[in-house]
Each structure stands twice: as C-alpha cells, then as structure tokens.
C-alpha cells in the first residue's frame, strides 16, 4: 500500500471494496443512487446522458437523493464516480469536464486515452483520477501522467474488454505501482471479490450482475437473457465495434446473424447506437446485440441492488472466514 492511502477519505463509507461498473446505456441515476446508499461506489459514463446539461441534472439529482438518504438516518453513502471518455472522438469532453468540475466529484475514471489533459483540473477540484487501462504499457503511461489509481481491464470483462490474465496483469503492475488498483473482469460474487483483494487489488468492478438489477436501465429482455446465459454464451469478437468485445451469442443470433461466421473487424453494417429513418429496423449494437462478461454464469435471477449487495457481502464474509492462518 502507498505511504499515503488515497482511498482513506472514503474507505469507512464502503460496505465492500466494490465499484458498480460504469456501463453504456445501463448505468443511470437509479442504479448509482442504489449502489451508493448500499456502500458501493456508484459509477456511470457521462455519455449515458444525452447532453452536458442532462449530466448536470443527473449529478444534481443524485446529490439530492443521497442527501435525503443521509438526512433520513441512512448510512453514509459511498462516492459517486463519473466515467469520462477522454478520446478525441468524444465531442462533449470539455463540456462534460466543466460540469464535473462544478460538482467536485470525489472520484473520476477516465477511459479510452491518456488521462493527462484532465488530471490537473480534476485534482484542483478535489477528485481522485483513476485511469482505465488494458495493457502494462498503458498502465505505465497513466502512472507517469499522474493518475491516482488504475482500473485494470482484464480478459473476461463485458463489453470492450482486456486480454491479459488478471493474475499476471495485477502482479505485473504491482511491481511498479503501489497506488490503488481496481480489477475489472470476472467478478461475479463476494468470493471473487475477496480473491481480487488477496491478489493485491484495493477495489474491483462488478458489471454484469448489476445489469440484471431492477434499477439498471437495461431492457428487460436483456436482463432475462443474462439470467438464461452462461459464460459459454459469451463471444469475443471485433465484428461490431472494431475492438475486441465480449457479446452474448444468443443476442447475435436473435439479430439474424451467425455468431460463428462474423467478419473480423467492425465490418457488419448494423444500425448505429442512435438511428433514424430507413435504418431503424436494423439491429443496433448495445441496444439489440448485448454484451456480458464471463461472470454472466453468476447471474441466476433478477435482483434489486439492495439484494445483490447484501448477497455479495455475505459471500465476501464467507470467503474471508475460509482463509485461515497456517
């Protein structure tokens, strides 16, 4: 652990060393609020908002609802964490950043690019900046840029995924970085969460299981498909985004495509994320063709966030009790 623990400012507000992962078109106000009031860091991509103005509204609404929870005698809430896409393709980057600075978040996760341009302003606003990385080289660059922590995207994560084995990735990064690490990929229950902690991580992402909660924005058919699927139904393909992405085979088949005969890199002419006119009937990635991580095998029923966190906490305690000295 680092000499000064960056997470000390809110560790005592966490019921679990867990982040409800920021998921495109899934993570919204309801999911974030439910996670935070249960002692789990609630995160969401800023691009889930239709505009920077709506981002401001979301953050205000979340703050009001968590304050009401505290005023009613609830436990102190875990931090709210925005996920900021820092790639040049995000036309709203500057506007979304300005909104975040006004709200002074405790924690921000950057994705798809170097965090360097936003670290200074976010630090000035009091935020910890974690960088989402998928390779050792990118981890080294993020540390050199001044990131407070790293999210290690490993093989088995849902959506656009990493490719490194989590055991190898965590230990390789721990060789040069003693700051906070977050393991992303394969966290399906409290036992896996305890294993991530034993491996050397401070926190972990849980994504797929939060998709199948009542509070997520996911389509009910998507949630039901997660319950019906196992890790054998997850297909790693670059056909839809041009990047290696874990998608659900049954949703590909339902879209009239053959999962075993897909082009190699982003060549499928399907609808964009938001479509109009004649292309409206075409299947849309993320909206009709759905992603899941390998942890989908752990999704056995639809739960509320309250129920999911309570179950995960019990599993985490059970896993910790099984580790005995000697």
Q: What DSSP string runs through 130-193?
A: EEEESSHHHHHHHHHHT-SEEEEE-TT-SEE---S-HHHHHHHHHTT--S-EEEES---SHHHH
* 224 within a domain of the structure (yes/no): no
Alpha-carbon span 149 to 188, nearest angstrom: 22
Q: What is the CATH number of the domain that holds 192?
A: 3.20.20.70
Determine, yes or no, domain membership for 221: no
Report the alpha-carbon angle 83-88-94, nearest 5. 60
pLDDT in tens, 68-94: 999 999 999 999 999 999 998 899 999
Same domain, 140 and 272: no
Is 148 contained in some domain? yes
Q: Does residue 180 share a domain with residue 42?
A: yes
Same domain membership, residue 102 and residue 30: yes
Length of the chain counted residue by residue: 326
Q: Are residues 174 and 33 in the same domain?
A: yes
Residue 293 above 60 pLDDT? Answer: yes
Which residue, 35, 11, 9, 13, is CA-closest to 22? Answer: 35
For the chain, give the mean pLDDT.
92
Report the candidate in 295, 274, 294, 276 with the shortest Cα–Cα distance to residue 285. Answer: 274
Domain presence at residue 223: no
According to the model, what pLDDT value does residue 322 have? Answer: 84
Residue 275 lies in a domain: yes
Alpha-carbon gap, residue 224 to 230, rounded angstroms: 12
Q: Check pLDDT > 80 for residue 285.
A: no
Containing domain of residue 145, as a range?
A: 6-216+299-322
241 and 312 housed in the same domain: no
Q: Which residues contact 280 (CB under 8 A, 6 or more apart)?
A: 271
Whether 38 is covered by a domain: the verdict is yes
Do residue 75 and residue 141 come from a single domain? Answer: yes
Considering the domain boundaries, does residue 78 fall inside one? yes
pLDDT of residue 133: 97
- At residue 230, what are phi and psi to the nearest 5 degrees? -130, 180
Domain co-membership, 92 together with 38: yes
Helices (H) and strands (E) in the chain, counts: 11, 11
- pLDDT bracket for residue 283 (50, 70, 90): low
pLDDT score of 239:
87
Q: Mark whether 203 and 93 lie in a shared domain.
A: yes
Query: 25 with 155, same domain?
Result: yes
Q: Are residues 238 and 94 in the same domain?
A: no
Q: Are strands 41-45 and 80-85 parallel, antiparallel or unpaired?
A: parallel
Total domain count for the chain? 2
State the DSSP H helix or E strand holding residue 74, giving kind and residue range, or none if neither.
Answer: none
- Say if residue 42 is in the same domain as residue 160: yes
Pair 237, 177 in one domain: no
pLDDT at 1 over 70: no
SS3 of residue 82 by DSSP? strand
Residue 128 lies in a domain: yes
pTM exceeds cut of 0.75: yes
Question: How far is it, in rounded angstroms, from Cα 45 to Cα 288?
Answer: 19
């Amino acid at each position: 652990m680092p000499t000064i623990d960056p997470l000390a400012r809110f560790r005592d507000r966490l019921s679990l060393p867990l982040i409800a992962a920021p998921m495109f078109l899934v993570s919204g106000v309801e999911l974030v609020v439910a996670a935070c009031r249960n002692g789990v860091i609630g995160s969401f991509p800023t691009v889930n908002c239709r505009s920077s103005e709506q981002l401001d509204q979301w953050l205000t609404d979340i703050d009001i609802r968590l304050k009401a929870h505290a005023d009613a005698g609830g436990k102190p809430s875990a931090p709210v964490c925005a996920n900021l896409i820092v790639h040049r393709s995000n036309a709203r980057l500057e506007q979304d950043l300005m909104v975040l600075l006004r709200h002074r978040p405790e924690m921000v996760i950057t994705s798809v690019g170097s965090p360097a341009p936003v670290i200074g302003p976010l630090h000035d606003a009091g935020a910890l900046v974690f960088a989402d990385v998928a390779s050792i080289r990118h981890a080294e660059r993020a540390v050199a840029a001044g990131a407070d922590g790293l999210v290690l995207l490993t093989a088995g994560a849902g959506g656009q995924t990493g490719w490194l084995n989590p055991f190898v990735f965590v230990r390789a990064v721990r060789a040069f970085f003693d700051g906070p690490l977050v393991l992303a990929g394969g966290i399906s229950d409290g036992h896996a969460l305890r294993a991530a902690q034993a491996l050397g991580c401070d926190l972990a992402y849980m994504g797929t299981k939060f998709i199948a909660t009542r509070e997520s924005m996911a389509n009910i058919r998507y949630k039901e498909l997660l319950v019906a699927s196992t890790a054998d139904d997850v297909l790693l393909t670059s056909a839809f985004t041009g990047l290696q992405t874990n998608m659900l085979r049954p949703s590909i088949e339902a879209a009239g495509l053959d999962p075993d005969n897909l082009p190699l890199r982003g060549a499928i002419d399907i609808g964009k994320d938001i479509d109009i006119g004649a292309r409206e009937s075409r299947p849309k990635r993320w909206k009709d063709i759905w992603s899941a991580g390998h942890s989908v095998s752990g999704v056995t029923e639809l739960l509320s966030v309250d129920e999911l966190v309570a179950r995960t906490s019990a599993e985490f305690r059970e896993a910790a009790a099984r580790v005995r000295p000697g």
